Homo-oligomer: A and B are copies of this chain.
Amino acid sequence: MKSKQADQSRNTLLQAAFCEIHRKGYQAASIANILQDTGLTKGALYHHFPTKQSLGLAVVKEVIGENLAKLLCDPIRQSEDPVEALLYLISHIDRKVAPDFVMLGCPLNNLMQEMSALDPEFKASLNGILKRWRDTVEWALITGQKRGDIRSDVDAKSAALFIVSAWEGCIGIAKNMQSNSAFKSCMKQLHSYVMSLCVK
């Protein structure tokens, strides 16, 4: 049996770690800073997570992965017209996330860029999340083909890979420019790319 209080502490730590990592990156994220935000101490942290790496991986799986699934995958998979749902997400994603998300970048992409070449465990975990997203987009395109919305000559797998890549690229560039309008302009072009996959 596990106590409610302990679970709450674990959650508090996860959330604070997510914020610190989102702002500074994983390597620059300081255990001391994370703890300062929570009011807890090292005793609590190292009780729930044996190492900083395990904390980071838990953030990836339980916070970033979950959020991305809820934000992007679920709406597409639950829609009767997945392509329309995808296009809607591309157009309106900026309204569905916190305003500082463009400034801080996509948590998934940030960590991929930082950690994939350094730590195979991070790479594997991040890749899993990415693949789920890619597969969802691919599924939307294939479903669109079956419904007659997407041209049959479109290679769904390649197109899905590109959509996800360009998406992350748009956030990344907008983050560097610290410009919300650049992000919207960029996503508009992605929208028109997806439209170009549709039957006339």
- Is the CB–CB distance between B105 and A178 below 8 Å? no
Whole-angstrom distance between the Cβ of A108 and the nearest chain B Cβ? 9
- Tell me, rounded to whole Å, the shortest Cβ–Cβ distance linking A127 to chain B: 6
Interface code A12-46, partner B: CB below 8 Å = 1, 0 otherwise?
00000000000111011000000000000000000
Given the known inter-chain contacts A165-B172, A169-B169, please indicate yes or no for A25 contacting B23, CB distance below 8 A: no
The interface on chain A, measured as residues whose beta carbon lies within 8 A of the other chain's beta carbons, has a size of 46
Could you jot down 22 A-B contacts, CB within 8 Å?
A: A23-B117, A27-B27, A103-B117, A105-B113, A114-B114, A116-B175, A117-B175, A117-B178, A123-B178, A158-B188, A158-B189, A161-B189, A162-B166, A165-B174, A166-B169, A166-B170, A166-B190, A168-B169, A172-B172, A193-B193, A193-B196, A196-B196
